[in-house]
Amino acid sequence: MPFLLACLLINLPALAPALAVTMTEDPKGFEGIPWGAGLSESSNFTVVYADDRVKEYRLQQEPLLLGTVPVQSMKFSTLDGKFARVTVRYQGDQRHETMLLYLQSRYGPLDLTPGQTMAGTNQQYNWRGTDTEVNLTYDGKRETGVIYFESAALGAKLAEVISGF
């Protein structure tokens, strides 16, 4: 029993949720595309995955930028034909710092007081609005970041469908 308790206490910081910041202004979508919109009608997207309920699209644009920050990939997901999520991947410590500045300028400042955010190897930052959630996870060891921009209503449903629950 003491061994189990010690393991739990050692791993507790990894299990602690990051605090969410309330967005200063909810965009109600991503880069001008409202949540729930149909993406198949646009020639700007190529379908990269499709099943009965979920479709994933790649943006037909080079270079891929989020604000002014170059990113590796940008995947747009729909559920039952409704725009629900964007997954953005990027790499590098310098890009991560620039990305944090961009997201804070767009969605609101983070409380970076020690102890208020997860720091170290894995970092997580969250912004929440009435219709939009932005979740950034950064792996400092691999220098890789993933950002999920998603509809508050459709994002949870999409996660359920993808996970099979």
Q: What are phi and psi of 69, to 5 degrees?
A: -90, 120
2: in domain: no
Radius of gyration of the chain, Cα coordinates, nearest whole angstrom: 17
How confident is the model at residue 114, as a pLDDT?
55
1: in domain: no
Residue 19 is given by DSSP the state P
The domain in which residue 56 lies consists of: 19-163
Are 66 and 98 in contact, with CB atoms under 8 Å apart? no
Question: Using 50, 70 and 90 to split pLDDT, how confident is the model at 43?
Answer: confident
Q: Give the angle 101-104-106 at the CA atoms, nearest 5°.
A: 110
How confident is the model at residue 135, as a pLDDT?
96
Q: Give me the mean pLDDT over the 126-149 stretch.
A: 96
Tell me: pLDDT of 111 over 80: no
6: in domain: no
Cβ neighbors of 77 (< 8 A, separation 6 or more) are 54, 55, 56, 57, 83, 84, 85, 86, 87, 158
Are 152 and 133 in contact, with CB atoms under 8 Å apart? yes
81: in domain: yes
* CA-closest candidate to residue 56, choices 65, 47, 64: 47
Cβ neighbors of 155 (< 8 A, separation 6 or more) are 84, 85, 133, 148
113: in domain: yes
pTM: 0.83
13: in domain: no
Using one digit for the tens of pLDDT, what is the confidence trace for 52-87? 999 999 988 889 999 999 999 999 999 999 999 999
Please count the structural domains in the chain.
1
Using one digit for the tens of pLDDT, what is the confidence trace for 85-109? 999 999 999 999 999 999 999 999 9
Using one digit for the tens of pLDDT, what is the confidence trace for 11-32? 333 333 456 899 999 999 999 9
3: in domain: no
Q: What are phi and psi of 12, to 5 degrees?
A: -55, -45
